[in-house]
Amino acid sequence: MERIKEAIAKARESKTGGLTDAPGAARKAVKGADVIDGPIVYNQTRVVDLDLGHLEENRIITIDNEDPNSISFDILRTQVLAKMEANNWRTLAITSPTPACGKTVVAINLALSIAKQTDYTALLVDFDLRRPQVAAYLGLPKDISFADYLDGKIEFNDTLVNPGIPRFVVLPNRRPVKNSTEILTSRKVKSVVADLRDRYEKRICIFDLPPLKSTDDAIAFLPQVDCVLMVVASGETKPSEVKDCRRQLQSSNLLGVVLNKSTEVAKTYYY
């Protein structure tokens, strides 16, 4: 736990990190959260502290660079970014054939890994509108919800949260949304996606989506993103389900398939 605390403190102090205003710094892009030369200033996005024990309980491990399990996410991050950079892609959806394969755990760890280890800003969006879990896994305050924006109760900028990690912003949702397929393909959501994508020069947007076989939400939303990652659960997902979903994803840029929940012990080289 101490190590995780140190990791957060270090990230906050790093030269690309600080969360305080940097007088005189030139702005490159402004809206919601601002990018300046050097530190990022979250002067509109709400900053909240994460509970490290809660993160560990929910398998959010890439907050700690020293966690031996984070190596899998380092490899995933490098592979994902290499493909996205090569194609100039900036938006990535995460889905799976069936529920509980680990999409949300993978989405959060990948987004954190990108924010902490690269010079990209990572934006994590909870677009599993029927069963939102990102906020619960991160332990974010209950009063910040995309559903409230959809209902016209709050301004869009009030839905964004910085969980105390530089270059990491979350668009959480706290309650299920009715007519989610219609919402995900609505003009309002299309404009949100375009705005989020273009808000920063160097930003990767990750969208946590529902499973492909449970609803048509994911397939309806996918045309709005550049590429998609499929998460499957070792020992749970059937080969026929993977095949079926690959067929469903034929018109999308499938970056690859993540085999999650593997019980095989990773062979380490140096350690």
Ligand X SMILES: Nc1ncnc2c1ncn2[C@@H]1O[C@H](COP(=O)(O)OP(=O)(O)OP(=O)(O)O)[C@@H](O)[C@H]1O
At its nearest, how many Å lie between ligand X and the CB of residue 72? Answer: 9
Q: Is 133 in the site for Mg ion (CB under 5 A)?
A: yes
Give the footprint of ligand X on residues 63-102 (CB under 6 A).
96, 99-102
> Judged by CB under 5 A, which stretch of 102-110, 111-119, 174-182, 241-249 contacts Mg ion?
102-110
CA 87 – CA 201 distance, rounded (Å): 16
Task: Tell me which of 62, 133, 145, 248 binds ligand X, using CB under 6 A.
Answer: 133
For the chain, the 3-state helix, strand and coil shares in percent, each to the nearest 5, are 35, 15, 45
Place of tokens 């994803």: 249
Q: Which residue is nearest to Mg ion (CB)?
A: 104
Q: Which of 189, 174, 162 is nearest to 50 (CA)?
A: 162
User: Does residue 33 contact residue 162 with C-beta atoms inside 8 Å?
Assistant: yes
Burial of 244 (0-12, 13-18, 19+ CB in 10 A): middle
Closer residue to Mg ion (CB): 103 or 116: 103
At its nearest, how many Å lie between ligand X and the CB of residue 233? Answer: 8
List of residues 6+ apart from 56 with CB closer than 8 A: 1, 4
CB neighbours (10 Å) of residue 214? 15
Q: Is 124 in the site for ligand X (CB under 6 A)?
A: no
Judged by DSSP in three states, 232 sits in strand
Give the footprint of ligand X on residues 194-223 (CB under 6 A).
211
> Judged by CB under 6 A, which stretch of 103-111, 151-159, 173-181, 194-202 contacts ligand X?
103-111
At its nearest, how many Å lie between ligand X and the CB of residue 205? Answer: 18
Determine how β-strand 34-36 pairs with β-strand 27-29.
antiparallel
Which partner, Mg ion, ligand X, none, binds residue 211 by CB below 5 to 8 Å per kind? ligand X
Task: Tell me which of 128, 217, 226, 241 binds ligand X, using CB under 6 A.
Answer: 128
Give the footprint of ligand X on residues 242-271 (CB under 6 A).
260-261
At its nearest, how many Å lie between Mg ion and the CB of residue 102? Answer: 8
Report the alpha-carbon angle 42-45-46, nearest 5. Answer: 105
Closer residue to ligand X (CB): 65 or 260: 260
Q: Which residues bind Mg ion (CB under 5 A)?
A: 103-104, 133
Q: Which residues bind ligand X (CB under 6 A)?
A: 59, 96, 99-105, 128, 131, 133, 211, 260-261
